[in-house]
Amino acid sequence: MSITDANSAGFVHGGIVMKLCDEAAGIAAVKHSRRRVVTAAIDRMTFLDPVQVGQLLSFKATVNAVWQTSLEVGVRVEAENPRTGDVRHTSTAYLTMVVLDDEGRPAQAPPLLAESPDEKRRMREAELRRQNRLAEREQIRAARSAERPG
């Protein structure tokens, strides 16, 4: 990370980290589907520890779960001090990507096989996040229609 990535406090700007998470997630989704993808949502982004200018950031993106045309990618961000080799986990992000056909319409995503205990846990947790997201959307819709007069 360079000085041009810094915010006014002198740390790396969160928006820069988010952009790089989006790029890593996009690459993972394209590699899984071998098609174009778009970001439908950044569902969660945590900043656990500030990143300093001069540190080396690594982005590890994993496809956690696949539904019809959408999939969830989890991104783990680590910051390394290149002089000491000290590595810290600084962010985690979860993004929903949608696979597109050649006309730009949502297209069926290839299925995902979860084999290891970690892969199965990631799939379960992604399913939980999706259910919570859909339930929240429904609750907001219901609350808004209850607020409407008549």
Q: Where are the alpha helices (DSSP H) in 34-150?
A: 117-147
What residues from 119 to 138 belong to the interface with ligand COA (CB under 6 A)? none
Q: Is 39 in the site for ligand COA (CB under 6 A)?
A: yes
CA distance linking residue 26 with residue 24, whole number of Å: 5
Q: Is 98 in the site for ligand COA (CB under 6 A)?
A: yes
- Smallest gap, in angstroms, from Cβ of residue 108 to ligand COA? 8
Q: Is 42 in the site for ligand COA (CB under 6 A)?
A: no
Sign of torsion, CA 87 61 39 135?
Answer: negative
- Smallest gap, in angstroms, from Cβ of residue 109 to ligand COA? 7
CB 93 within 8 A of CB 25: yes
Instruction: Tell which one of 96, 122, 123, 126 touches ligand COA (CB under 6 A).
Output: 96
Judged by CB, which is closer to ligand COA: 87, or 140? 140
The two three-digit tokens of residue 140, written as one number: 């907001």
CA distance linking residue 5 with residue 40, whole number of Å: 25
The two three-digit tokens of residue 99, written as one number: 């696979």
Q: Residues interacting with ligand COA, by CB under 6 A?
A: 38-41, 67-70, 96, 98, 106
